[in-house]
Each structure stands twice: as structure tokens, then as C-alpha cells.
Amino acid sequence: MSIEGLRALVADFLAGHDPRTTDRLEFLRARYDAGLAWVAYPQGHGGRGLPQAMQPEVDRLFAEAGAPDNRPGTNGIGLGMAAPTILSYGTEEQKDRFLRPLWTGEEIWCQLFSEPGAGSDLANVSTRAVRDGDGWVVNGQKVWTSGAHNARYAILVARTDPDQPKHFGLTYFLCDMTDPGVDVRPLRQITGEAEFNEVFLTDVRIPDSQRLGAEGEGWKVANATLNNERVSIGRSAERESGMIGVVARTWREHPEKRTSELHDRLLRLWAEAEVFRMTGARLRQKLAQGQPGPEGSAMKLAFARIAQQLSGLELEILGEDGLRYESDRGWSMVRPETVDFTGRDAGYRYLRAKGNSIEGGTSEILRNVVAERVLGLPGEHRVDKTLPWKEIPR
Amino acid sequence: MSDLDLLPTEIEEDLRGSVRDLLGDRCDPAAVIAMYDGDRSLVAPLWKALAADLGLAGLLVAEEHGGHGATAREAAVVLEELGRHAAPVPFLTSAVIATSVLESDSVTPAGRELLAALASGERTAALVVPWSTGPGSPVVGRAGTVTSVAGALDADVLLVPVTTTSGLEIRAVAAERATVTPVVSLDMTRQLADVTVPVGEGEVVVADAEGAVRDALELGAALLASEQVGAARWCLDTTLAYVKVRRQFGRVVGGFQAIKHRLADLYTGVESATAAARYAAVAHAVADPDAPVSTAVAQAFCSDLAVLAAEEAVQLHGGIGMTWEHPAHVYLKRAKADQVALGTPGRHRARLATLVDLPGVGG
Ligand SMILES: Cc1cc2nc3c(=O)[nH]c(=O)nc-3n(C[C@H](O)[C@H](O)[C@H](O)COP(=O)(O)OP(=O)(O)OC[C@H]3O[C@@H](n4cnc5c(N)ncnc54)[C@H](O)[C@@H]3O)c2cc1C
């Protein structure tokens, strides 16, 4: 389909669903059903199998018409990670059940991967899922779970066979966060907020119909999720979007704070942010519609570095003003509904950006991924790959 | 410079030991973190113990004014320990900067009296300038509010620069005669305040004060480097200890070469910063002509190094480094605020350009 054809479809849809008079949810559901939600998704699941590159134009047309959006900031994990994984590995029933309310934002998702003993080494998770009739019973502890306090569902990796080597005994589930065995406790972050949580799972029941992928295939499915996470972080279409936009604005608004040294550093980072944007565009074209592979890791590495350098520079530009952390809510403990890397004030941005090189795989792990999976360099000496999981010393 | 002794003496090590012991007992990291929620109950008793019991308030004050007559060398050792504990006490603002202002030749009798009160730890003072003011920046005493003042919340006397027809003078104003409004600060362990002093308030304590203020900020910046070194060392030590026990992939993560190299680099940086900070302290202790260069170099290097160390600490702790409960964030915030405090590294490099005759374009 041409972009003109797509524009006509949106116009048709808008003619039939006046955004000013249609109920918000009804509007979003209808947009999904019309295949105008995520246009790269297949027919019947909110899309039309079109190139991903057409998405920004569709979003722009809807925004221009004053249409409600699906509040993507509240459901980053759902949209960026759960959805593409369900699309790749889900049964038709699972896609039918989960994708639509996910896209409309009726159901928010979180990611129950990391554990106290399994962060970088995700394949080491010890949360156990044991078969019980037509379902599973899950016990264990997860940690750093962003947005668990808002989530209706979670993507979950659990160990189903401790006798297998670590990568082969894992299974991937879709977990109902309203199950009585799910206990979500806030974990406060260096910004003062509790964006992430500890999640204790006690005899949580998951029907087998909510297993995603085959039993024992959890590592493969989880990698699909992680690869999607890494390309979805920091995707920026517009020049000066993201952190560079914020810092450029600060610069323009404060002529009194300018020095040639700061100017030089800002311009270096501006150029890097622009190169990052082009690299992202090029990578997306290269991948076309296929599933992202480990190449996205290099993008996420660059994203974290640039965001951190820019937000650090911003505080130096602001000087005295950067010493103040008073806008909005200060250090008070809140449980936010959205994650916004570029929101609030410069101090918040600086601190929050520190998470960018930890969440979704640390920068060290991503360098290993690039070195080993993209460049084919040999891995480090490891003792834990071939032993049955339960025999690994910890 | 080669004949300046850069290693601590036995006496300095003893001093370090007693400061470290006291902070170990009385400066609980959990209480430091609680300051971010507005609980400042740690500060007063801790400062009393350090200032009066250990006599640190008068460390730099001459013996004839009731102090210990020690030098920047000893103060640097104290600051390394305070930095290591992110201790929320007004040593730098009162016992270094404020006393230095009052040690000026143009101090008045009232100023001399105040200096003795500061030396005994009976009173605590703060110089009323924005905390970002570096030794090269002009200080103008004007009516109205001075924003982002460090140490004012802990001070009972404010040293207020006032511009008069005959130049800059410093007036001592009792804190209760001023409006001191706490600011939610990036670094709550040195929480800032906005200070408003009624016009004409206070007594003149230093008459011709321009040089005195510049010297005080210069000494403050030189010694801030030692605080930064202390903070960086805590970050290095704590991170090292962690990566030696944290296991992933069936091994301790400190065994991965990527981590080893990072920490070897960080160690190199911390050692270098220690030398730079030490040289600045020693140069000031003997009033070496190279003292201004030593300050600019120390600030240009140590500010960024401390930030790097804190950033590495957060990163190498993984998710735990991002939590409120782990103290790494306290050091990150302290290091980032210290980078701006008393002049950014960029400002210090600009000063250096003049001092060592490396003019910029058009200069
Ligand atoms: C803000 C934030 C949000 C998060 N949200 C979620 C979420 O929603 N769901 C979820 O499941 N998880 C989430 N996480 C967890 C995140 O994925 C983990 O923190 C991360 O994978 C690192 O694990 P860890 O914290 O256990 O650190 P560790 O794995 O213990 O790592 C410690 C340090 O060692 C380094 N290291 C480890 N192994 C190697 C190696 N082989 N080579 C070199 N260096 C190595 C690491 O890079 C790190 O610097 C979040 C984390 C943060 C900070």
C-alpha cells in the first residue's frame, strides 16, 4: 500500500469516528480493529502488514485530528516488549486475547524477569513453575520490576526444569498480576520515586493457556523480548527529540550561562545524537519487518552513553540552578504511572539516565552481546553453561 | 614544587584516624540518606562532636585566636574523611571558608571576636554567596536575596558581603535576623538555602574584604578537592568490595576483564586525584606561589574524577546502585553538586589558562 492510500484510510476512519464525540476507549478499539493501530502488525491484530516506517505518518495524522492516543508512556513494556513477543510466539488465541487491550492501554504490562540472583545472568532465574493439572504453580521473587504497581499482566520467565542446563530449563509465561499470590512492594529509586518494585510470587496459578512458546523454550522467547526492548529504548524519529532536545532548549533559554567550553561539548553531543538518530533509522531499514537481533544492542549502548553525557552536561550548564532539585515533587516518594526519561528537572534527568545503562541489559552485557554474537569473538570462560542448573555453585 | 612533601605525616594520620572513628560511630549512612526526606537530626550532634570535641572548628584558626593553628594539610585530611562518609557537617563552609574570610588583615575587632567563637565551635558561620561561586568569579554584595548558599542552614552567623562606596565589606548577621529558606537540593547532605538579609543589618567584621573573599573561596576550592578524593575513594572501595562477592554466570563479576580494567582505570584516577588534591593542600599550607595553579589543576581534575567514581559505583552495582537504600546515590549527588560548587571544572580550566599563560582564541 502506498502512503497516499494509507492517508486515505485514516481519513476514512476519522470521517466515521469523530474523535471529539467518540468515547476514548471506543475510538481506540475501533482504530485497532481497522488495522490502523500498529500498521506493521498483521491484519486482524491491529495492523496491515505495512512497513514500520509508515507508522509515524499514521500517528501524526491521528494526533493532528485531535484523536486520543493510547498513552504509550504508561505501557512501554507492553508495547515495546510484550506485544512483539506475543506476536512472534503466541498462539492465535493468545494474540486475540492479549494484543488488543494491550494496545488500547486497557491492560498495562510489566516484566518479571530479573531476580536478586539473576540480573545480567538472566538465565539463572530460580523462580520455579511446577506443573499442576492444566496449569502451573509459580513460586519465587522478582526484583526491579518497573511499573508492577500499575500492571494487569506480566511477562514472566520461570524455571520449569532444574535438571537441565540453565538455558534449557526455562519457560515463558503471561502472568495475571491480580492473582492473590502476587505481592508487589515498592522499591525506591535514587530519584526518590518508586518506579520499580519487588514482586513476591507465592503459589501463583497460571493456566497452561498462558504459557508463551514451548516448555523449555523460555530462554529463546526471552531473548526475543530483550532484543525488542533494546531497539525500542531511545527510538527517535525527529531531530532534537529525547535528551538532546531538552538540553538544546536549556542552552537556548540561558544565554547568560554560555561559555565556549560548554558550547563545544554541547555541539559534540548534538552531532553524536544526530548520528545516533541516523544509525537508528538505518538499522530499522536494514531490519525491515524482521525481528530485531543482537545488532540493536549497539544502539542501546550509544543511547545510554549519549543520554548520560547530555544530562550530566546540562547540570554543568545550569550551574547554580543545577544544584537545586525543587521543581515538581522534589525527593518525595511517589509511585509514578509513567516513565519519562526527559521529564521533570535537570537533576532528575541526570539521575534517571543512570538507569539507562543498567535496565534492559547493562552496557557491559551489551558489549559482550555485540562482541560475541555480532562480531563472533570467543566468549569468556564459563563453568555454568553445561552443568544441570541445580548443580551450579552459587 | 618537587620539595613539597605530598605524603601525610604521622600526626596527620592520627588525625585521620580519630575523624574516621568518630564518623564510623556517629555518621550512619541510613541517617545520611534520611536527610533527603528532610530529617536533619544527624547534623547538630555530629557537628558538635567534630567541631568542639575533636576541635575541628578551629583547626585552621591561629592559636592566638583560640584555634589549633594547623594548616591546609590537616584540613585536607579531615576533608578526605568527611568526603568518604558524605558527612553532612559545615566544616568546609564554616571551619575553612568562613574562618578564612575572618583571618584577613582587614578584620575588625568584632571580627576577631567572632573568629574566636568559631574556633571554639561555639558558633558556626557561612559566607553568603551562591555555592557555585568560584575563586575567579566576582562577588558583589547587593541588597535582596542571595540564592543557593551552602552552610547557611547550619550557621548561626552569616557573613554577608556588602558593596559600599569604598569597596566590599563583610558584615556578620545573626541568622535569626535573616530569612533563611531551605532549598530542595541535588545534594541534601549539603543542603542549600536562599538568604535574605535586611539592608544595613549586622556589624562589619572585615572592612576591605575583596581579597579576603577571593582567598577564602580559593582555599575552599583547593580543599574541596580533598573532599572529592574522599568521596571517590569510598566509591572505589565499596565497588571493589561488591564486585569481589557478587556472582553472575557462576563467577564473581569482578573476575571479568571488562570490570577489572574499569576498576584499574578508576584506581589510577583516584590515585592521581589524591596527588592533585594533596599538592593543592600542601601548596596552600606553605603559601607557595604555585597555590592558585594547584587549585585550578585540582578542581579541573578532581571534580570530574569524583563524578566518574560515583557513576562507576552506581553502574557496577547494577540495579542495587539505582536504589535509595544503597548509599551510592548519596555520593553521586554529592559528587555532581561538588562539580559545580566553587566553580565548575570548565571555569577552573579557564583560570588555569590565564595562570599558565595559555591564552584562548583572541587572547
Ligand atoms: C531503572 C531500572 C528498571 C528496571 N526494570 C526492570 C523490569 O521492569 N523488569 C526486569 O525484569 N528487570 C528490570 N531491571 C533490572 C535490570 O535488567 C538489571 O538490573 C540488570 O540486568 C543488571 O542486573 P543486576 O542488577 O543483577 O546487576 P549484576 O548482574 O549483578 O551486575 C553488576 C555489575 O556487573 C556487571 N557484569 C555482570 N556480568 C558481567 C559480565 N559478564 N561481563 C562484564 N560485566 C558484567 C554488570 O554490567 C554490572 O555493572 C531494571 C533495572 C533498572 C536499573
In tens, the pLDDT along A273-288 reads 999 999 888 887 777 6
Amino acid occupying residue A134: D
Task: Give A268's pLDDT tier (boundaries 50, 70, 90).
Answer: very high
Average pLDDT over residues A353-358: 97
Residue A336's nearest CA partner among A194, A225, A172 is A194
What's the A359 CA to ligand 1 centre distance in angstroms? 6
Contact assessment for residue B129 and residue B151, using Cβ atoms and an 8 Å cutoff: no
A322·B186 Cβ contact <8 A: yes
Sequence-separated (6 or more) residues with CB below 8 Å from residue B249: A120, A121, A124, A380, A382, A384
- The DSSP call for residue B308 is H
- C-alpha torsion angle, residues A110, A116, A120, A121 (rounded to 10): -110
- The answer on pLDDT for B72 being more than 80 is yes
C-alpha cell at A364: 557491559
Complex confidence, ipTM: 0.96
B322 closest CB neighbour out of A189, A312, A363: A189
Is there an atom of ligand 1 within 6 Å of A114 CB?
Answer: yes
Q: How many CB atoms lie within 10 A of CB A86?
A: 24
- A352: helix, coil or strand? helix
pLDDT given for residue A233 in this prediction: 59
Mapping DSSP onto H, E and C, the string for B220-264 reads HHHHHHHHHHHHHHHHHHHHHHHHHHCEECCEEHHHCHHHHHHHH
Percent of chain A past pLDDT 70, that is, above it, reads: 97
CB contact under 8 A, B132 and A320: yes
Do the chains contact at A315 and B336, CB–CB below 8 Å?
yes
**pLDDT tens column, B288-323:** 999 999 999 999 999 999 999 999 999 999 999 999
Count of CB atoms within 10 A of residue B153's CB?
23
Single-letter amino acid, residue A365: I
Q: Residues A16, A19, A21, A24: what is their CA dihedral angle, to the nearest 10 degrees?
A: 110
B257 within ligand 1 shell (Cβ under 6 A) = no
Catalytic residues of A: 229
Cβ–ligand 1 distance for A76 under 6 Å, the answer no
Q: Give the model's pLDDT for residue A290.
A: 65
* Residues facing A154 on adjacent strands: A110, A175
Q: Which of A323, A363, A381 to mutate to test the interface with B (most CBs of B within 10 A)?
A: A323
Instruction: Give the residue whose CA is nearest to atom 44 of ligand 1.
Output: A364
Which amino acid, residue A245? G
The residue whose CB lies within 8 Å of the most ligand 1 atoms, and thus the one to mutate among A155, A362, A394, is: A362
| B350 at A interface, C-beta within 8 A | yes
Question: How far apart, in whole angstroms, are the C-alpha atoms of residue B15 and residue B82?
Answer: 12
- pLDDT > 60? residue B2: no
The whole-number pLDDT of residue A165 equals 96
C-alpha A294 – ligand 1 centre gap (Å): 17
φ, ψ for residue B55, nearest 5 deg: 75, 25
d(CA B273, CA B195): 34
Task: For residues A330-336, give the mean pLDDT.
Answer: 92
Instruction: Output the DSSP codes for B259-285.
Output: HHHHHHHHHHHHHHHHHHHHHHHHHHH
A283: its cell numbers: 538499522
Mutate to test the pocket of ligand 1, among A108, A142, A144 (most ligand atoms within 8 A of CB): A144
What local confidence, expressed as pLDDT, does residue B363 receive?
Answer: 67
Q: Is the CB of B361 under 6 A from ligand 1?
A: no
B337 in reach of chain A (CB within 8 A): yes
Residue B255 Cβ contacting ligand 1 at under 6 Å: no
Tell me the one-letter amino acid at B275: A
pLDDT in tens, B195-216: 999 998 999 999 999 999 999 9
Q: Which of A107-116, A137-146, A245-254, A326-335 has the lowest mean pLDDT?
A: A326-335
- B14 in contact with A at a CB cutoff of 8 Å? no
CA–CA separation, A296 and A298 (whole Å)? 5
Residues A39-91 pLDDT 10s: 999 999 999 999 888 898 999 999 999 999 999 999 999 999 999 999 999 99
The pLDDT confidence band at residue A294, using thresholds 50, 70 and 90, is confident
- CA–centroid distance, B301 to ligand 1, in Å, is 30
Interface test with chain B among A188, A190, A261, A328, by most B beta carbons within 10 Å: A190
Measure Cα distances from A73 to A56, A70, A338 in Å.
Answer: 16, 9, 5
Decide if A170 contacts A219 (C-beta within 8 A): yes
CA distance A68 to A32: 13
Which residues, including other chains, have CB under 8 Å from residue B354's CB and lie 6 or more apart?
none
User: A-contacting residues of B 232-261, CB under 8 Å?
Assistant: 247-251, 253, 256-259
Structure confidence at residue B109 as a pLDDT band (50, 70, 90): very high
Mean pLDDT of chain A: 94
pLDDT at A350: 98
Q: Strands A109-112, A153-159: parallel, antiparallel or unpaired by DSSP?
A: parallel
> Does any CB of chain A come closer than 8 Å to the CB of residue B147?
yes
Q: Flag whether pLDDT at A234 surpasses 60.
A: no
Are A324 and B319 a contacting pair at CB < 8 A? no
How many angstroms does the Cα of residue A350 sit away from the middle of ligand 1?
A: 19
The number of CA neighbours under 13 Å toward the Cβ of A243 is: 34
The Cα-based distances of B223 to A377, B19, B281, B342, B346 in angstroms read 47, 16, 6, 11, 18
Give residue A145's pLDDT: 97
Residue type, A293: G
* CA separation for the pair A193, A312 (Å, rounded): 20
Specify the residue for cell string 590515585: B271
